[in-house]
Amino acid sequence: MMQINWQDLTPEQFLKEYWQKKPLLIKNAFSNFSDPVDADELAGFAMEEEIESRIISQQNKEDWQVAHGPFSAFEQFGEQDWTLLVQATNNWSAKTHDLLTPFRFIPNWRIDDVMVSFSTPGGGVGPHLDQYDVFIIQGQGKRRWQVGLPDESLKQLLPHPDLKQVSDFTPVIDEVTEPGDLLYIPPNHPHNGVALENSLNYSVGFQAPNNQELWSAFADKLLDLDAGTRRLDDPNRQLTENPEHLESKDIAQIKNFMQAQLNDETLFNNFIASFLTQCHHAMEILVPVTPITTEQLDDILSEEEIRFTPVSGIKSLIISEPYPCLYINGEAWKLEEKTFALAIKLAQSLPLTTQEIKSFTSCLLNAQLLTSVLNKGYWFIE
């Protein structure tokens, strides 16, 4: 199992001193790093309709082009100055998904996906800003990285609608990364990576929803549940002398009226757990043609050499309040005391052996939970 060689740091020190505060480069963070995908396999993903991909190329410092996949060929881009980016590669490559394991010192719900890029010499996306945290693992090849500090004067964007590029900045990190090096970049820190030779990079991105996304999704949840239909009332209304005024006490009453829904623990906790486990990118979900029954599960478990495996890229978590629930890709399973231990295993999204499953399925509730997850296509049998 991959682990980060923190060298003179610990994960606790990293979170205290660097997380969302300042960038960090750890040389040789992964000893003997082996690429989970190669350039040809990545190109194959970029030919698929359902997989989000793009190629960014440049003719000169200000002439940038963005082409969106799927792609049928790549020869037209030449041998330098372009980058192929494939979003959520971990949804299609289990080995790429394994790159998330070293970052589990941060809660699963914060992790978004692994974007993989292949760059020819001179390839990159230009100096730019991101609004989220990212760890970048250097795979094949070498890349020169420059990372700066937040700077309000960099708000002027260079002209391309698909790129969040900024003007030149003063780097605090200016290094060449080699296979196994790890670069951490906090939000709003300008950075620029330029390939010195054919290079693969693995960007572990973290989700950080903004207020608009949260409020919009919460409103959608209210509509879906037909909740929030109670109207504002004021049975203790007092005589007003200024009917043309919206008074502060009325504003406070309306705010409290709206706040009450956020304070509804059952409503909000279930909303936010569902929201945070929704997958933002396509993945390969194969639902069984014929649903698996608990009786069939017993037959399956008579085979010793099988594994129960989560679909690569699924998002899972457990909430305990107001009642225990398992969430997978936005769907909820209410848990009983007897199903909690199995739910933890499912939420950890690690393959389970026949013997591990057997330790749970003597209980009918556990068998029902497992078959439900299998029938949704979130787990499968190897």
**pLDDT per residue of the chain (382 residues) written in tens, 0 to 9:** 789 999 999 999 999 999 999 999 999 999 999 999 999 999 999 999 999 999 999 887 678 899 999 999 999 999 999 999 999 999 999 999 999 999 999 999 999 999 999 999 999 999 999 999 999 999 999 999 999 999 888 766 656 677 888 888 999 999 999 999 999 999 999 999 999 999 999 999 999 999 999 999 999 999 999 998 999 999 999 999 999 999 999 999 999 999 999 999 999 999 999 999 999 899 989 999 999 999 999 999 998 889 999 999 999 999 998 899 999 999 999 999 999 999 999 999 999 999 999 999 999 999 999 999 999 999 999 8
- The edge-to-edge listing of strands for the beta sheet with 352-353 is 352-353, 307-310, 379-381
Instruction: For residue 19, give the amino acid letter.
Output: W
Distance CA 106, CA 91 (A): 20
pLDDT of residue 156: 62
What is the reported pTM?
0.93
pLDDT of residue 158: 58
b/e map of 94-123 (b: 16 or more CB within 10 Å)? eebbebbebbeebebbebbbbbbbbbbbbb
pLDDT of residue 180: 98
Strand 191-195 relative to strand 143-148, pairing = antiparallel
End-to-end CA distance of the chain: 20
- Torsion region of 20: left, alpha or beta (phi above 0 gives left; psi -120 to 50 gives alpha): left
Q: Which 8-state DSSP code applies to residue 206?
A: E
Using alpha carbons, select from 101, 179, 98 the residue that is nearest to residue 136.
179
Using alpha carbons, select from 313, 315, 328, 309 the residue that is nearest to residue 282.
313
- Structure-token match 């009450």, residue found: 260
